[in-house]
Amino acid sequence: MNRLSKKRKHQSWLRLCVALSYVSHFHVLHWRLLRGHQHLSSYSHSIINPYYYCAFGRAVMISKESWDVTEEKLAIQTEDKPQASNGKKSVAELQKHTRIIEYRDTRMKEIRFYRANEKPYGAFSNLYRREIEFEGVLYPTTEHAYQAGKARKDSVRDWLMSAPSPALLAMAAHGLYSWDIQSNWSKIKYERMKQVLRAKFTQHEDLRELLLSTGEARLVEAATVDNLVNRTWGEVNGKGKNMLGVLLMEVRSEIREALIAKGGKKATTRRRAVGSKTRGTEAIGAVR
């Protein structure tokens, strides 16, 4: 693909993002009006809030991200095919082949996820629909459980929880005004997210097994839209804090250690039971 066609494709994606973002704004505002939240009428001005553009653009650009990854894999496969030569490879060809091997080794040690409908690792997304119980309340997703702690007022929290989808919930939560957010939210949000993730992967055995199956691989929430939210919770072009991935790996280690400790305790209990049975048999033999 030449440079001109790539540029045109990129421009078409940007136009699509902007158009769908406007549609999303009107949908959210219409939803608010239908819900009749007059006490939240100040949020009608949030159409100028850039967080909505970032959040919706993040969802729209997913398909472009998967296209880029597919194209990258195809390029590697093409480079790997044997080519006719005189039996000698230049230094440049050897370096190129080495870079491909290093790239593959790196990708094997990393597991990237983003969309909730990706299989199998889409389950790591907070938008993945799986009910969890947290603080005595049932939530349809981990995103709901996490964002429920962000609002300062019960009315704002109820409004967030009534969002039609997890994606719209995230968009609305990112657009909250500062006076509607818990004053210490920046200090407690990571710990709350970790607690929510712990509940998710301990309450569902299949999700726990999926998380443990990743071994020691680095988990990365990979995004393509460059904004503060994506660079905080994930990575964009390899740059970002990747806090969601970090917390997932911490929860994975905790679950693994707990299972090991539980297995060791069971083994000790079995040994004690066998020892007691043996001593009882010896005592009976002595009496006889």
**Domain assignment present for 71:** no
172 contacts 64 by C-beta, under 8 angstroms: no
Segments forming the whole domain that contains residue 47:
3-64+96-176+185-254
Sheet with 218-223, edge to edge strand ranges: 110-113, 218-223, 235-236
**Domain assignment present for 118:** yes
165 contacts 140 by C-beta, under 8 angstroms: no
**Domain assignment present for 34:** yes
Q: 10-residue block means of pLDDT along the chain (288 residues)?
A: 56 55 50 48 43 44 43 46 49 51 55 93 96 96 97 95 95 94 95 98 97 96 91 94 97 95 71 61 54
**Domain assignment present for 84:** no
Q: Tell whether pTM > 0.75.
A: no
pLDDT tens digits for range 115-124: 999 999 999 9
Distance of CA 39 to the CA centre of its chain: 33
What pLDDT sits at residue 231?
Answer: 94
- Report the C-alpha gap between 256 and 266 in whole angstroms: 15
193 contacts 146 by C-beta, under 8 angstroms: yes
Q: How many CB atoms lie within 10 A of CB 150?
A: 19
Pairing of strands 218-223, 110-113: parallel
Return the CATH number at 111: 1.10.357.40
pLDDT tens digits for range 96-148: 544 444 444 444 589 999 999 999 999 999 999 999 999 999 999 999 999 99
**Domain assignment present for 75:** no
User: Tokens representing 155?
Assistant: 């009315």
**Domain assignment present for 153:** yes
**Domain assignment present for 222:** yes
Number of domains in the chain: 1
What pLDDT sits at residue 262?
Answer: 85
**Domain assignment present for 216:** yes
Q: How many CB atoms lie within 10 A of CB 214?
A: 16
DSSP-assigned letters across all residues of 130-175: --EEETTEEESSHHHHHHTTTBSSHHHHHHHHT-SSHHHHHHHHHT
